[in-house]
Each structure stands twice: as structure tokens, then as C-alpha cells.
Structure 1
Amino acid sequence: MFRAKVNRNLSFLSTNSSRTTTTHGQHYQYLQCSKLPTLYFQRSLPRLPIPLLENTCQRFLAAVQPLLTPQEHGRTQQVVEQFRQGIGMELHAKLKAHDAENKHTSYISQPWFDMYLADRAPLPLNYNPLLVMKSDTRPEYQQQVVRATNVIISSLRFWRSLQADLLEPEVYHMNAKKSDTASYRRWMKVAPKAFATYASYAFKAFPLDMSQYNRLFGTSRIPRLGKDELVQSPESKHILVMRRGHMYAVNVLDSSGYIESPSVILGRLKAVLRLDSEREAAAVPLGVLTASQRDEWAKSRANFVLNPKNADLLQSEVDAALFCVCLDAEEDGIYNENSQEPLLKHLLAGKAQNRWFDKSISLLISADGTTAINFEHSWGDGVAVLRYFNELYKDTLQQPFVSTETVHTPAEGDFGNVRPINFEFDEVTKSAVEQAYAKNAAIVDSLDMHLLRYSHLNKLTCKQYGLSPDSIIQLSFQLAHRQAFDGYVGSYESCSTSAFRHGRTETMRPCTTATRDFCEAVLQPARSKPSAGELRAMIDKCSKVHGQLTKEAAMGQGFDRHLFALRQTAQREGLPIPELYETDAYQRINNNIISTSTLGSDALLAGSFGPVVKNGFGIGYSIQNEFAGAIVTTYKQQAEGKLFIDSLESAFDKICAVIKESSSSSSGNKENK
């Protein structure tokens, strides 16, 4: 939905060393200098609506129908009706009243933060997603320390633009050629701020909430017993650099807050590599603890900071860092087109020795320059991270400030700007690190990952046959599961509600009666199978239903977040949890066996996350110009990932065959007429 357009015209790039820059000049210090202030639309964004209780109940019943027998669905209808006429009405009224008292935000924002921060599960695999960036095909910019320097500079340019209100406002343009123009910006400039969003709607341009952006940098999740907290240090001038488990605080902004020159930042990273080469890998890699169960990490941290030196270093150098850069060693793996799984598993969760999963953003740079982002999820969602990810890719491609030929400014011995973080470890911490390493290693070893790249289905074929790409992919997931495991399960697709102030996400339920009917029909024996034309009509119905559900979710008219908020209201008010939440239907639909996420980005090489339930499938997918791709994660002995991915390929084959056959039949009929 939020697709970046990356300008691939690179002809103006110098093929020699770094660009000539005036380091304090606007061109170097800022990624963008928007005519409209970054938060120009924020004040006028509409509030996230609370759906009508009756609509939520109807949508819930429709969503659970394909998962239930007629008898089960009948019983569920009775419980839902009792809820709608009874306690549901009371909770809905209380939620509406609470929302009216907090007009500065959305009804879901705080409960959603609380949900994330109170969960005690480890961050890797359970929450932190992975985005892998396409590599730079020019060797002089792909080398590890060069790539790291350029992504650091571009990140800082993004951050400084955001802080200075110069980053372009996030706007979804229905027709970018008509609205993403200088004329549009001139009209918006004269629109009163209180109505700017509605003026933008006239151009079919939809401003998005940007309240999460200020937590992109300088933010850390701090483990606490029962519920974590987020801390921010937006005025920091250093980043955290990790190498073989060692940690370094590296200044990247000068005392006035300006980005240091490219040669200086390059020199400081090289100083880190030099320091690291002079010692063994960290004997006690503290970062492993950030992969722990959250209460365990909270206890370990509480003990660790009893030492005042550790407390000061942890707070000032680690928690306060703008972001984390993990420079991985050769033994951690490099990208192999023919065998991507080992590196992707390492980047997603890995051994955790060279990670600090609590940072809002971690840039992972492999020995071959492969670059990825692993991000902590509680502070924000994909819209903000994807914008940053796309801008980073575009800027490093169009304006890399250093290359392998750049002469760096030496920083060896400059311990004011390159500070090794040397903690003092007691036996309790050493033991905690060992235990955390063993637990994380066992979890990662239990993870399976399978990839599918299907060339017969891509953007061009979807356009050629008038198909909705996302709907077709989601239908394929349903068919794949039905073929492999003979049933239908709770399925999850995330949809952003960032068109509203402090919107987060809404759940779209892609397992529908329409997808079930198609799956049953296409799997019938040949003698009783509907014709290709009839099957194509069923595919079109699936797409129509899917499109309607997506539209409802994006407009804040789903049912999941409303039911979640009603349950939270009961807890806040000290009321009993309604029977609805104890039904098999509610439990079944929220046991997300199939959990999916897609990111539309020309910058993306791969995206992945762990299963959200032990016996589930975590599916990161995308449709590119050349292929449809999926990365499926499962836990061994819990779910059969290989069986699912093989079934998915078969599902693609079946659906493509129907589309082509129905198209041929339709063309033949037209010719005969």
C-alpha cells in the first residue's frame, strides 16, 4: 500500500572517491528540505473512529464462520447477541466516554503500547522483525565499513531533517503524478493547519500520522518486572557500535549537533575495527541478555546496575545511543543468493552475541556489506520504519558520501570520540549471559525457514489479468494450508490505520467464506470441479471481499481492535471478562496459525519475522516485477514449514492455471461471437 518510488537515475554519481561536501551546509546536514513542515498535517488528522458495536459483532461472526461448524457458529451467535445487548453495550459506552476525554490521541494507542510492553516473551522471533536491504551493485560502495558509514550518514540526515521539521510529510498519494507535485504543495501551504488534511483529500492525497517518528532514534526499551518502559534521548550525539560482542560509543554529531564529516565518521568506524582486531571476541557478550525473557532480563539488569560504573555506562552510552550498528564478522555469514536461509536466520535472531535488541533501530551490516534493519516493535509500526528504510536505500544509492577510495581521518587513540564500553562483570551476570545464550541458541536452532520464489505470478501478470496482487497471495496461503493440513485456521494480515491521529494497526482476516468456497471448489475431483470461468468468478469474489475488508480495516472499521479495547475497558473498570472472550470462536480466530505481513518496497531484498504462535507460520511476502516471494518461518516439531511451502507452490500453480484457462476461454468466446 505504501510503496516507495526509488529514483534509479544514478548518472550524476561520481565513480571516484567521496563527494565533495560542505559538512555544515544544508545539502549535507539534511536529507530533505520540505516546503511543508514535517508535522504540517498532524493537527488536522481525523480521530480514529470507534466502530458501532452492532457492526463489530456482525464482522466478528462473519470472520469466525469459516473456522466453525454450523452448530458451533450457531452457539457463537447466541453468545455474541447476549454480549451486544448486555455487557457489550455498557463497555462500549465506557470506551466512548474514555475516548471523549482523551481527544489528543486514539482509543487504541495507549492500550497497544501497554500490550507490547507488558508481554514477557523474548523480543527476537516474537516481536522484532527483519528488513534486508538490496545491496549496492557497485563494489566500491558495498564494502562493509564503507556501507556502514554511508547508512549512518543517511540515517543522521533523515534524523536531522525530522528534528528540523524539514522531512517531507508522510502522504499516501492515490495518483502521485497528479498530487505529488509542486502545485499540490503550494495549495497545501495556504490551507489553514486546522483543515489541511481535508484540503489534501481533495487531491486524493491522504496524510498519515507521524507521531511515531520521534521514537525512531534515541529510544530504548528498558526491561522492568511486569512491564517494560521506553526511554528517549533525542539530543544524543553518539551511536552504539557492536563488533564480536564488544560495545563502543562512537560520536557522529559534533558539539553543536552537526553531522561529522564523512571522512571523520569513516575513520572512527575504522578505529573500532582496529581496536576490535587487537583483542579476542567478548568473553561476556552482554547483548545476549536482550534476547532473554523480559522478566529474566529485568532481574539481570537490576543486579548488573548495582555497580555504579555499569549503571552509568549502560544509561549514558547504550540506552542513550541514537541507534545501534552491528558490524558482523565473516564467521557470522554473508549473503548467498542460492542459500539465503542461514544469513536471514542469523539477521533475524542469530546468536545474539553482537546484538542489542532493545534499541528502537539496529542496523546490521554483514562482512560482505549486506545491510538489514532489526527493530524493536513496541514504539511503532511498519509505516515509520518503512519510510526510513526506503529513504536510507535511496540516499545511499544516489548520494554515497564515502567509497573505498575515500581518505579517512584517523581516529586511533581518540577515546573521547571512540569509547570502548568496558563493563565490570560479576559472577551473577556471567552466569545470566551463559544461560541466556543457551536458551536463545536453542530457540533459534528450533526455527525453520523456507523460501519460495515463484516467477509465474508477478506484478505484470496481476495487471495483465486484472487481479489484486495481495488478494491472490492471501488466497494462495489459504489454499496451501487447506491442501497440506485439511482445514482452515486463524489468519492474520496487518493493515495500517495511520490515516488517523495516533492510529496503529488493524487486523484483516483473510480467511473468509469466499476463500473457503474457492478452496473447496478447486480441490474437487475433475468430474465435479466447476469450470475455469466459474472458478475465476469465485477468485474475483474473493478479491472483492478481501478488498472490502482491507478498506474497512484501513478506515478503522475492523473488529479486532474494538473487541480488544472493550476487553481492556472491562479490566480497567474492574468488571468481569465477558463470556464472548472465552468462546472457542474467539480463541480460535486469535490463535493466528497463519500470520502474514507484506512490505511494498523497491528497496527490500527480504523481510522476515517469527511465528506468532508455537504451531504457526510466520509469512513475510511480496510481489515484485519478476516474481511473487514468500519467506516462511516455523518451529521444528511444531509446524511443517517445508510441507506448507511446497503446498504454496502447488496453490500458485492451481490458481495461475485457473486464471490462464479462464482468460483463454473468455478470449475464445469473444472471437466466436
Structure 2
Amino acid sequence: MAALRLPPAVRRLNGLGWAASPVGRCRARGSVGGCALQRASSSSPDPDLLHESIVPTNHFQKSLPRLPIPKLHDTVRRFLNAQRPLLDNDQFRRTEQLAQDFEKGIGKQLHEELVAQDKRNKHTSYISGPWFDMYLSARESVVLNFNPFISFNPDPNPAYNNQLIRATNMTVSAVRFMKTFRAGLLEPEIFHLNPAKSDTSLFKNIIRFVPTSVSWYGAYLINAYPLDMSQYYRLFNSTRIPRPVRDELFTNDSGKHVLVMRSGHFYIFDIIDQDGRITKASEILAHFKYILADPSPPPEFQLGYLTSENRDTWSSLRQRLLECGNAEVLNKIDAALFCICLDDVVKNDHIQLSHNMLHGNGLNRWYDKSFSFIFTKDGSAGVNFEHSWGDGVAVLRLINEVFKDTTKRPAISPTTLPAAVNSSQIVQKLEFKLDDVLKAGILSAKEIFNTSVNALSIEATEFKKGGKVFLKKQNLSADALAQLSLQMGFLRQYNKTVATYESCSTAAFKHGRTETIRPATIYTQRCCEAFVKESSKHSISDLKAMIGECSKYHGQLTKEAAMAQGFDRHLFALLYLAKSKGMPLPELFQDPSYIQMNHNILSTSTLTSPAVNLGGFAPVVPNGFGVGYGVHDNWIGYIVSSYPARDVKEFLKCVHKSLDDIFDVLQGQPINS
């Protein structure tokens, strides 16, 4: 399928796909991003299901095109293009020579071996195994380093923005999602380029009869692009288990219970009854109410902190837990469908909400669960998810479907009374046996956690002068414009161009993960220099033309990444192969410029969805920014995190000023100094 070409509109199916650099601690996480997938779900007569798709969920999975391995020459060329704005002439000449030597020598050998290996493993992609290994072998805490968050928009009906009501409704909707998926009745994930043709009953009635071996191509013929859904399997009943050296992904889909956390206590109750039906919503409401009424103060030793520890430390402490007789309770946590965190906090603004959803206070989380719903006392809702099992396409689909279901078909209303059930006989409170080693380990984990999160700053800003509507009239990419504002803001504050990361999903391919868009380019560098340092030397038309060049090139990079034609994953796979063979590290990967490129000071991601309020993450390096942003119809929003090495407030002022200047120029006005 090397000849496959997706149109530019397929673009970046950005997937909360935090990626990782192959260079030591220099990881790069990617996007809280998403394409607005359009789908029409058929209504379902079964209250346990979201809908009943006439096209089976995995109808296209068998015929998905395989993830292509780029040509080595193209990878080297793209790598050098991305390096150009980051290096001076002498540095670039050295890197260029190393890259050319790599292409002719050891790189060629490694590439040929990678291609041969890929041909022997046609059931998967060349990046899947190394990518899982990279995540699971990382020893750092998952908190701040890997787990991102997404918060839901408030329910359109204010009466439903209540902790008990939202927790009950979202729990029911999430279980409906799970049952619909496992029954093979969840609408396949499809990007509809022309929904008037492909998101129709006629299309579905025809495509369902096309054999699975060629069904993808049938959709492709009318500009519908089915996406890989292999990661959905890990959404439920899944947990990352700490192990020495490399963690394990555990899934036990026979679990019928949910895990509920409140004030550091653990509770479970069955959400699926003996007949396989979802527990009555009024009973779920009663159980949540019972848990919230528990007067117990937080336990002295709060076990949740252990999941925020270094993975090797947590592994040894988990082993100690097993030795102390906690195997049964740990298994109940690991096998739970998902985790529900009932927080006793009220979060009144974006910054407080982001801190709570990203890390919280540590005691009321089990960060290893595949995902956790978080509900604050005032009814705000969000998701924090562990990242090793997959990227954001599956999580975003879950969030979109849950929000849609809870707002269109809520399981309970504000007038619903809790069922007259004895929750004390149904809800099980988990108790742990702790020795002195475990108690000391928990206290140490708590201290490390508090030190880490206290060092994190989060700030937000909104630019109200325009958004997608205006930029579309200017024939400009909204994402390119947002990325340009970040480049310009950083140059304004620090007078330099730095390695920048934006993740792009490659879910258009079987077992695709992510690819990197490199938004710092020679075009953005030239444009930023002109705006920040030389605006008086350039006419408005010149500056406008430079913005257009940035947009055009960013669009090209985005299309290449979505088509798995970037360079980061290819080089990562070659480095991984060299290490797995015990070979000496090729010189290119030891070059300071390669290491610098993977030290992503600007780690950026975007997400717009009717369900989503905010999405964010911590910086991926100590001297970096973690940038979540969304370009809406008439405004642009940013939520940015940093550690003390960077001034996040000043950065956002610089970004806002950059947007002011850009929009002034686009409107034909001179820049205000």
C-alpha cells in the first residue's frame, strides 16, 4: 500500500499520542488532539447498548493498509529539514555529514533489516512492538511524565451537573460503550471526508456485505477512511502492572465490577449482573450515595500514592503487598472495568480543574488503571488515563460517546430516587494489610509526589479576536496559525527557536500509533524573526505572505505525518533495532543535534470536540512547556504547564501578543509595537 494517498483533509487524526524519544530521559509526548469524526449511530432498542451498528465494529480491521516504512533517503532529508532552524551553519554541516554517512552505511543495513522484519510480521506494524516496549520499559512515574487528562464540558442542562448524577450517568454510558463494543455493534471508527455520501444508511447497507478482506478499499473508494480499532480492547478491565525492568499490561475481561475511590479508600461493586445486564441506574446511584456518606477519614497510609512512584520502586513494593496477603484485593483493582474517583474538592477555574484532573492530591487515584473518571464535588468531570496501552483515538471516542449518551439519553435525572437496596451488603470496601516497609514506602511516595506536583505551574489564556471561521476565509490552516503563535511567543521571550513536538495519529493504518509533526521550520523561523525583530522592515503584504508559507508547509508536514511519512518513528525503530542487536550506537544517534531534537522544549497538542472542555499534560523535559490548545470558531484557547525553569505566565503573554500581531496583519493593519 505504499501508493496509498489520503487527501489533506484526513490530516492529523491527533490522538493524545504521547510519544517518547529514544534518547534517555528526553521523551516527547504528543497530542491531546482529535479529528472531529462524524458518525451517525443507529438508535438502539436495548437500554444496555449505545446503538446497534449494522456494520460490525471490526468489519474493516482485517483489510486496513499496513503502516508503511518510509524510504531511508526521505527520512534523512526530512530529518535534516527539521534540524535546519535549530542549528547554526557549522552544527548543521556536521549533522548533515553524519546523516549522509548513516544513510550510506549502517543506516542502510538497519533499514534493510527493518524492512525484512516487517515482511515477516504482516499481522502488525513495524512500530507497535518497539512502541509498547518503550512505554513499558520507562521507569519514571506515570504521573506528570505520561498520564494526560481530558475534562468534559458541563452538561447543557445545569441540573445534571451534580457529582452523584454525573457519576451515575457517565458510569452507565461507559458500560454501554463497553457492551456495544464487545458485542461488535459499535459503529466502526471512520473518518468521513464526504459524510453526505459515506455516513449514510445506503453506504452502511452496501459496505456490510463487502468481504472483510477488501472492505477497507470499498470505503476508500468513496472517501471514507476506517481507522484501526485494535487499542479499544485495552480500554476496559485493564491495568498497567509494575514489574522490574519492564511493566506488564494486564486485562481480565471477566471482571464485572467498577473500582470507586473516595478520600483514599477503595470500594468495588458489580456493575454487570448475573444475566450480563447493566445494574439498574437507581442502584448505582444508591451505591455512590452510600460511598459518599462514608464518614471515614482518609486512611493514615494512603495506598494510591504508590502508583505515582518510580516503576521499579513500585514494583518491589507491590511484591511486598502480595507477600503480606493482598493478592485478592490487588486483583480486584486490576480487573475492575475502570476507576471512578469521587473527589471532595470544588474546582472553580481552568487552572484548578487542570491540576486536579492531571494529578490531583495523589491519595484518591490509582494512576495505573487504563482510565479513571474523576468527578469533583461541584459536578466537574474528567478522565485521566494511563498511556502505554494506546493513544487518544480510543479515549476520545469513549469521551465523545459518553458525553453524547449522557446528554441525549441519561440513565437518571435529578428527580431519580436511589433504589431501596442495602448498599452495605453490596459495596465492598477493600482493606489492605501493611507492614512497616509498606508504610514507609507510602510515606516516601507521598513526599516525592507532593514535591513533584508542587513544582508544576499551569496557566491559561483565551484569544478572542478570531478563530477557525476567520482563518478559513484567509485560506490558512488553523493549526498552523496556532503553532506559529507558539514559535513566535517563544522567540519573543527567549530569542531562539527550539525543538517542538506535535503528535499525529497514524490510526489510518493497521496497528498504527503516532508520528511527529515538527512545527519549528525554516518558514516559521523566518516569519517569527520578521514579526518580532524586523517588523518595520517588512510590508503588511510581505508578512501576510510569510504566514501563508508557514501554513502551506505545516499542511505538508501534517499530511506526511498522517500518512506515516515523517522521520521520527523510522529513526526510532532503527535505533531500537540497533540496540536489540547489541550493536554499537550509530554516530548519528550520539550526535548532540539528534539528542537536542528529542529534548522537546515545546511539547504541544490540540483537541477540539463538543464533549471536551480542556486537555493537558506536563512538560516532557524540566526546561520545557506542555502546551494544550484548541482553535475554536471564533477564539483560540491555550492551557500551558511548566516547571520553575520556565516562566509560563510570561510565555502566554508573548503568545497572546504574537496572536495580536498576526491577526492585525491578516486584517491589513500595521503591528502595534
- SS of match in other structure, 1:472: helix
* Cα distance, 1:5 vs structure 2: 6.8
1:196 aligns with 2:178: no
- SS of match in other structure, 1:27: coil
* Cα distance, 1:525 vs structure 2: 4.0
1:400 aligns with 2:410: yes
Q: Which stretch shows the higher mean deviation, 605-614 or 531-540?
A: 531-540
Equivalent residue number for residue 298 of structure 2: 281
Partners of 1:348 and 1:626 in 2: CA distance? 27
Match among 196, 200, 206 for residue 187 of structure 1: 206
Equivalent residue number for residue 389 of structure 1: 399
- SS of match in other structure, 1:402: coil
Equivalent residue number for residue 311 of structure 1: 327
1:580 aligns with 2:588: yes
Provide closer, same or farther for how the CA distance between residues 472 and 54 of structure 1 changes in structure 2, counting only shifts above 3 A.
same
Is the 1:482–1:519 Cα contact (8 Å) retained in structure 2? yes
Equivalent residue number for residue 445 of structure 2: 436
1:647 aligns with 2:657: no
- SS of match in other structure, 2:452: helix
Q: Give CA deviations for 1:614-643 in whole Å, capped at 9, x if unaligned.
A: 10000011012231001000012x111111
Match among 637, 641, 660 for residue 633 of structure 1: 641
Partners of 1:58 and 1:139 in 2: CA distance? 54
Q: Which amino acid aligns with 1:424?
A: K
Partners of 1:59 and 1:285 in 2: CA distance? 49
- SS of match in other structure, 2:47: helix
Partners of 2:444 and 2:92 in 1: CA distance? 46
Is the 1:146–1:402 Cα contact (8 Å) retained in structure 2? yes
- SS of match in other structure, 1:190: coil
Q: Which amino acid aligns with 2:280?
A: S
- SS of match in other structure, 2:191: strand
Provide closer, same or farther for how the CA distance between residues 133 and 548 of structure 1 changes in structure 2, counting only shifts above 3 A.
same
Q: Give CA deviations for 1:53-100 in whole Å, capped at 9, x if unaligned.
A: 111000000000000001111111111111000000110011111111
* Cα distance, 1:526 vs structure 2: 4.7
Provide closer, same or farther for how the CA distance between residues 174 and 162 of structure 1 changes in structure 2, counting only shifts above 3 A.
same
Is the 1:120–1:226 Cα contact (8 Å) retained in structure 2? yes
- SS of match in other structure, 1:644: helix
Is the 2:57–2:186 Cα contact (8 Å) retained in structure 1? yes
Is the 1:6–1:394 Cα contact (8 Å) retained in structure 2? no
Match among 445, 451, 454 for residue 454 of structure 2: 445
Partners of 2:361 and 2:288 in 1: CA distance? 23
Partners of 1:409 and 1:354 in 2: CA distance? 26
Partners of 2:39 and 2:222 in 1: CA distance? 23
Partners of 2:318 and 2:136 in 1: CA distance? 16
Is the 2:37–2:191 Cα contact (8 Å) retained in structure 1? no
Partners of 1:411 and 1:314 in 2: CA distance? 27
Equivalent residue number for residue 349 of structure 1: 359
- SS of match in other structure, 1:645: helix
- SS of match in other structure, 1:28: coil
Equivalent residue number for residue 341 of structure 2: 326
1:171 aligns with 2:190: yes
Partners of 1:526 and 1:658 in 2: CA distance? 11
Match among 219, 224, 229 for residue 210 of structure 1: 229
Is the 1:6–1:602 Cα contact (8 Å) retained in structure 2? no
Percent identity of paired positions between Structure 1 and Structure 2: 43
Is the 1:363–1:371 Cα contact (8 Å) retained in structure 2? yes
Partners of 2:251 and 2:520 in 1: CA distance? 40
1:550 aligns with 2:558: yes
Provide closer, same or farther for how the CA distance between residues 663 and 499 of structure 1 changes in structure 2, counting only shifts above 3 A.
farther
Is the 2:641–2:648 Cα contact (8 Å) retained in structure 1? yes
Partners of 1:663 and 1:391 in 2: CA distance? 45
Partners of 1:465 and 1:175 in 2: CA distance? 23
Within-5 A mapping of 1:82-481: 82-274=101-293, 276-277=294-295, 279-308=296-325, 310-315=326-331, 317-329=332-344, 332-334=345-347, 336=348, 339-415=349-425, 417-481=426-490
Equivalent residue number for residue 606 of structure 1: 614
- SS of match in other structure, 2:214: helix
Q: Which amino acid aligns with 2:637?
A: G
Partners of 2:244 and 2:436 in 1: CA distance? 22
Equivalent residue number for residue 5 of structure 2: none
Compute the TM-score of the two structures, normalised by the length of structure 2: 0.92
Partners of 1:189 and 1:390 in 2: CA distance? 24
Partners of 2:380 and 2:470 in 1: CA distance? 30
Is the 2:286–2:423 Cα contact (8 Å) retained in structure 1? no
- SS of match in other structure, 2:466: coil
* Cα distance, 1:457 vs structure 2: 2.6
Q: Which runs of 5+ in 2 are unaligned?
A: 1-12, 14-33
Is the 2:38–2:195 Cα contact (8 Å) retained in structure 1? no
Partners of 1:663 and 1:614 in 2: CA distance? 37
- SS of match in other structure, 2:208: helix
Q: Give CA deviations for 1:597-616 in whole Å, capped at 9, x if unaligned.
A: 11221111111100000100
Equivalent residue number for residue 17 of structure 1: none
Q: Which amino acid aligns with 2:665?
A: V
* Cα distance, 1:190 vs structure 2: 2.4
Q: Which amino acid aligns with 1:531?
A: S
Provide closer, same or farther for how the CA distance between residues 658 and 157 of structure 1 changes in structure 2, counting only shifts above 3 A.
same
Partners of 2:466 and 2:595 in 1: CA distance? 34
Partners of 1:574 and 1:592 in 2: CA distance? 27
Is the 1:141–1:400 Cα contact (8 Å) retained in structure 2? no
Partners of 1:495 and 1:518 in 2: CA distance? 24
Is the 1:130–1:348 Cα contact (8 Å) retained in structure 2? yes
Partners of 2:522 and 2:231 in 1: CA distance? 36
* Cα distance, 1:531 vs structure 2: 1.0
- SS of match in other structure, 1:452: strand
1:595 aligns with 2:612: no
Is the 1:35–1:185 Cα contact (8 Å) retained in structure 2? yes
Partners of 2:173 and 2:665 in 1: CA distance? 46
- SS of match in other structure, 2:213: helix
Partners of 2:670 and 2:454 in 1: CA distance? 46
RMSD: 1.7
Q: Give CA deviations for 1:229-281 in whole Å, capped at 9, x if unaligned.
A: 0000112100000000000011110012211111121112122223x22x222
Q: Which amino acid aligns with 2:278?
A: I
Compute the TM-score of the two structures, normalised by the length of structure 1: 0.92
Provide closer, same or farther for how the CA distance between residues 527 and 598 of structure 1 changes in structure 2, counting only shifts above 3 A.
closer
Partners of 2:619 and 2:327 in 1: CA distance? 35
1:656 aligns with 2:663: yes
* Cα distance, 1:139 vs structure 2: 3.6
Q: Which amino acid aligns with 1:561?
A: R
Q: Which amino acid aligns with 1:450?
A: E
Is the 1:619–1:631 Cα contact (8 Å) retained in structure 2? yes
- SS of match in other structure, 2:629: strand
Provide closer, same or farther for how the CA distance between residues 525 and 537 of structure 1 changes in structure 2, counting only shifts above 3 A.
closer
Q: Give CA deviations for 1:83-126 in whole Å, capped at 9, x if unaligned.
A: 00000011001111111111100000010001001111111111
Match among 502, 506, 515 for residue 511 of structure 2: 502
Provide closer, same or farther for how the CA distance between residues 527 and 360 of structure 1 changes in structure 2, counting only shifts above 3 A.
closer
Q: Give CA deviations for 1:269-298 in whole Å, capped at 9, x if unaligned.
A: 122223x22x22222211111111111111
Is the 1:351–1:437 Cα contact (8 Å) retained in structure 2? no
Is the 1:363–1:373 Cα contact (8 Å) retained in structure 2? yes
* Cα distance, 1:312 vs structure 2: 1.3
Provide closer, same or farther for how the CA distance between residues 283 and 412 of structure 1 changes in structure 2, counting only shifts above 3 A.
farther
Q: Which stretch shows the higher mean deviation, 566-575 or 185-194?
A: 185-194
* Cα distance, 1:6 vs structure 2: 8.7
Q: Give CA deviations for 1:188-222 in whole Å, capped at 9, x if unaligned.
A: 12222111111111111100000000100110000
Q: Which amino acid aligns with 2:410?
A: P
Equivalent residue number for residue 624 of structure 2: 616
Equivalent residue number for residue 512 of structure 1: 521
